Chain A
Amino acid sequence: MTAYLTALATEGCIFSIMALGLNVIWGWAGDLDLAFYGYVAVGAYMAMVTSIGRLPAPAQYVLGWHLPFPLAALIATASAALLALGVGAVALRRLRAVYFAIITLSAVLMLQTVISDYTPLFNGFDGLYGMPQPFNDTLHLAPQAYSVFFVGFALLCLAVVYVLLDRLSRSPFGRALRAVREQERAAAAFGRSVYALKLTAYVLGAALGGFGGALLAASQGAFNPTAWPPTETLDLYVAIFVGGMGNIRGVILGVFLVLVLFQESTRFVPALWGNPNVSAAVREILLGVMILVTMRYRIQGLWPDGAQRVRRPARPAAGTRPVLLEVRGLSKRFGGAEVVRDCSFEVREGTVVGLIGPNGAGKSTAVELITGFARPDAGVVRFAGREIQGWAPDRIARLGLIRTFQLPHEWPGLTVLENMILAAPAKGRDAIWRPFFAAGALRRAEAADRERAADLLDTFGLLEHQDELAGTLSGGEKRLLEFARIAMAQPRLMILDEPMGGVNPVLGARIADAIARLVALGVTVVIVEHDLAFVERVCDVVIVMALGTAIATGPLPALRADRAVIDAYLGEAAVHA
């Protein structure tokens, strides 16, 4: 009985470590990785070939070293991480969601085929066996006592992983990851490199998988391809999903509940009607039902990823220097249609510029091109003295050019205050190693950010909502949060894409007021807007676009007399205004 229980506990700890690894990839970064069990397998194999020595004759495999377990586990972890770096570098660069899932699935299928077929690597389909019990060459424990020791060891490993991940989840790195998961484009608009963050998360997750694999090999003593069908990964998904995606405590709960308790209990279903598959089939049916019930009644899982509380307090923000944006000959064609055509204009320092034009004039596309969310076919965008056309959006954002979207792109699953702190210039603070090294400097910088964030929330009238999830705010409040976030980011230029879109017109005064505050902080503003009354109230200068190009520039009252502008757009609007 004790043997049975220790076996279960060991299993729970090892699978928890793996599930926590997958949780970094799926729960935090939001990537559906189906290759995960491949990393576990690589970890297990590497731990074995570096510690089992030579097997008797017919067995074929590389290395055959006799390293002590900690070293073998280290190599296993590093190998899994390295493999993930390769797969992730290709798959994460351009592929999203389903495509990523399927590419990773193919990757693991290929890995399995190669390992099963090619015996000189890991002895092919027969696999490896004879893994020595870690540390027992010095401990010399009897089997019973050793299994108790091993539970303790696995538990210790889990505890270390837990502490490490707990720290990471509350660090800027964890926050930035969740921002990417919630709203990728906004994360990029605020200077986060989505690719780098996702890749880091992917490698970290895989490394934990590899480590879990090493432990698995040590606890089972043998490993072969039948032990790791790629679909094994789906098991871990179920545990994470039921336990609470994203929350490390929830994930551990999920593993013990789903993979250990539930599966063990259903193993006692008797074989009925002479069908030996009854027990397995019933178990899997119940597993499926369990997922569906979780989805229906508790989608966030048993122990959901709660709002991460951030503590607050007060100090003013420093103004920044306004600069010039220059656009020359910008062009972009989608298929047959030239949406932006030889468009040129400039934005002077410290001004509020309106960008107006009829529907389809290319305003939004121009914004996408300037901010790097689309790549221009031709033309020059000069910002702060540098040519930025073709740069990635996060790089442009770090230079101080930040945009908003037509619909507010808040990070709904993060609190209002977290939304603010994420908007602060990253300056390498969300590097994965920061919570572990140079932690003091990190804490100080974080404290300063919290102060500024709370201060700005106060200015924008959102302080009372600071610990609420941003997704729960009203449309107007989300818009205000967007402005507060921008103020937090201290950009030199911000481009607002239809700030009045989806906002109750009654809030117009409040939004105008918010924009005035940003200008007072020294930010240059470009506003794309349809609401001409609003534009007239807020903007010093107006640029009119039609058919993909800028046709006139000047104060709005003066433009009302311009023939070309009237033809293109204002004619009708001016009459109604």
Chain B
Amino acid sequence: MLRRPSPLAALGSACAMGWGDRVPPRHSATLAAVRPPGPVGIHSCGGTSARTHGAAARVTGMERLGLGIGFGLVTGGVLALSAIAFTLQYAVSRIPNLAFGELLTYGAYTGYLASRWTHNLAAAAAAAALTGSVIGWAINAGMIEPFLRARVRTSAIFIGTLAVSLVLQNIILLAFGGTSIAYPLPPEDSQRVGPFIWTPRDEQSLAAALVVMLLLYILLRHTKFGKALRAIADNRDLARVSGIQAHRIIELTWGLGGLVAGFAGFVLAVTLGTLTPTFGFTFLLVTMAAAVAGGLGRPQGALVAALLIGIAMEVSALYVDASYKLLIAFGLLVLVLLVRPAGLVAGEGGRAAA
């Protein structure tokens, strides 16, 4: 009998499961809090998504849509952070970073450790962001930039980022084992906010995402660093000959991207309630879908696409089996690319495709 265990089995199983494992616990809890638990069980499509389904079936169509959009905003908010960070790193180096998911993972695990020691979510968030930042900076300085300078083919560097991802991911696997870790957080009641139903934690993560995005906007639009970053994204060589210290800006961008990614990883882990070594890599797939649909290298595009994808995934999860979420995300991406090959927010002249 010849059955080769996949060398990437750890990655693989996460992919095979899709992003479905992200959904249920929180949302079904949310719904259960809204409506007293009743007999559900008509839907046999498995586990918690069935409960989501069943509970949601007892609210009106419009309410249900509102629920989905509410969840979608929370998911989309985290996704937007992650996609913007990804797209910024891409913008300055033009390399899709497959090790990006590990920035989320490391952020989340650091946040977990920090919150266990300090019992302070703010400290945990800071630690998570800092870890992501350091690793993001190191990936660029240690691998991407040297290979770019050596004029290595883009596709080879792409494979290189995969290698980095393998190494980082399996270090976590060695250190923490493969089983999922529960994030120790007190349960919360959810409340109605207009048409949406959120827990305080949902509101916090949405607010955090908004604040970070606002800060990023100011940074990119109104500072010298932001201008330099956009100049490099537009034309690296031209920026360099116009006296911009491209090297420093690129390093800073990777650090900044890591900072945001680490933070996003932490927020994601808190909203999910669990951690696994592959959780970042799995989220990377959706992140890439959002970043690409938005037009790679364009933060505004990533934001719009992330919200769109987040909402589409959560709304769809109320109607069809949650395991189709990833499918919805990618289906949306394919649709966008077929209509607008350079992404949703391709600027004039559409240089994003490069």
- Please give, as numbers and ranges, the residues of chain B lying within 8 Å of A167 by CB-CB distance: none
Contact across chains for B8 and A106 when beta carbons are under 8 A apart? no
Of the candidate stretches A282-290, A306-314, A383-391, A496-504, the one touching chain B is A282-290
Contact of B2 among A30, A102, A219 (CB under 8 A): A219
Alpha-carbon separation in the docked complex, A109 to B20 (Å): 13
Contacts of B96 in A (CB 8 A): 98, 101-102
Complex interface bits, B111-152 against A, C-beta within 8 A gives 1, otherwise 0: 000000000000000000000000000000001000100101
- Within 8 Å by CB of A288, from B1, B166, B333, B348, lies B166
| Bound: A229/B6 CA distance, A | 8
Decide if B171 touches A226 in the complex (CB within 8 Å). Answer: no
Contacting pair A299 B13 (CB below 8 A): no
The reply to whether A291 and B174 form a contact with Cβ atoms under 8 Å apart is no
A95 to B321, CA, bound (A): 31
Chain A interface size band reads: 35 or more
B285 on interface, CB distance cutoff 8 Å = yes
> What distance in Å separates the Cβ of A266 from its nearest Cβ neighbour in chain B?
9
Contacts of A295 in B (CB 8 A): 147, 152, 156-157, 159-160, 163
- A158 vs chain B, min Cβ distance (A): 16
A280-B296 in contact (CB<8A):
no
Say yes or no for B4: interface residue by CB 8 A criterion. yes
In the complex, the answer to whether B338 meets A292 with C-beta atoms within 8 Å is no
B11 (CB) vs chain A CBs: closest residue? A231
Cα separation A98 to B321 with both chains bound (whole Å): 30
Interface size bucket, B side? 35 or more
B158 at the interface (CB under 8 A from A): yes
Please state if A112 and B341 are interface contacts (CB–CB under 8 Å): no
CB pair A32 B337 closer than 8 Å: no
Contact residue among A101, A284, A291 (Cβ-Cβ distance under 8 Å from B7): A284
User: What are the residues of chain A within 8 A of B2 when measuring CB–CB?
Assistant: 7, 10-11, 219-220
* B349 adjacent to chain A (CB < 8 Å): yes
Q: Is there an interface contact between A102 and B167, defined as CB atoms closer than 8 Å?
A: no
- Please name all residues of chain A whose beta carbon is closer than 8 Å to the beta carbon of B288 when the two chains form the complex: 102, 105
Contact pick for A299, options B9, B156, B171, B324, CB 8 Å: B156
Which single residue of chain B is at the shortest CB-CB distance from A263?
A: B7
Q: Are B177 and A277 in contact (CB under 8 A)?
A: yes
Q: Could you tell me the distance between the alpha carbons of A103 and B7 in the complex, rounded to whole angstroms?
A: 24
- Say if the beta carbon of B200 comes within 8 Å of chain A: no
Write out, one digit per residue, whether chain A residues 195-234 have a CB within 8 A of any chain B CB (1) or not (0): 0000000000000000000000001110001110111101
Residue contact B327 to A109, C-beta cutoff 8 Å: yes
Pick from B174, B178, B327, B333: contact of A113, CB under 8 Å: B327
Pair B163/A288 contact, Cβ less than 8 Å: yes
B32 part of interface (Cβ distance < 8 Å): no
Instruction: Assess the B8–A284 pair: CB atoms within 8 A.
Output: yes
Contact A238 B170 (CB under 8 A): no
A94–B156 CB distance below 8 A: no
B334 within 8 A of A: yes
Report the bound CA distance from A498 to B177 in whole Å: 61
Q: Does B39 contact A (CB under 8 A)?
A: no
Contact check, A291 vs B173: say whether CB atoms are below 8 A apart: no
User: B330 to A241, Cβ gap below 8 A?
Assistant: no
Cβ-neighbour of A230 out of B15, B174, B177 (below 8 A): B15
Nearest CB of chain A from residue B332's CB, rounded to whole Å: 9
Q: Does B41 contact A (CB under 8 A)?
A: no
A106 touches B170 (CB 8 A): no
CB pair A231–B173 under 8 Å, yes or no, is no
Q: Does A235 contact B (CB under 8 A)?
A: yes
Q: Is A58 an interface residue (CB 8 A)?
A: no
Q: List the A side residues contacting B173 at CB < 8 Å.
A: 277, 280-281
Is A268's beta carbon under 8 Å from chain B? no
Q: How far is the CB of B316 from chain A (nearest CB, A)?
A: 13
Contact in complex: B15, A231 (CB < 8 Å): yes
Contact partners of A7 in chain B: CB under 8 A: 1-2
Contacts of A90 in B (CB 8 A): 338
| Selected A-B contacts with CB under 8 Å, 29 pairs | A10-B2, A99-B296, A102-B288, A102-B289, A105-B288, A105-B330, A110-B327, A110-B331, A112-B16, A113-B326, A219-B2, A229-B8, A229-B16, A231-B8, A231-B11, A237-B159, A238-B162, A241-B159, A259-B7, A275-B177, A276-B178, A280-B170, A281-B171, A285-B171, A288-B163, A288-B164, A288-B170, A295-B163, A336-B348
Q: What would 17 more interface pairs be, CB under 8 Å, given A98-B292, A284-B170?
A: A116-B16, A230-B15, A231-B6, A231-B12, A231-B15, A234-B8, A241-B156, A245-B156, A278-B174, A287-B7, A288-B167, A289-B163, A290-B163, A291-B159, A291-B162, A334-B348, A336-B348
- Chain A interface (Cβ within 8 Å of chain B)? 7, 10-11, 26, 30, 32, 90, 94-99, 101-103, 105-107, 109-110, 112-113, 116-117, 219-221, 225-227, 229-232, 234-235, 237-238, 241, 245, 259, 263, 275-278, 280-285, 287-292, 295, 299, 334-336
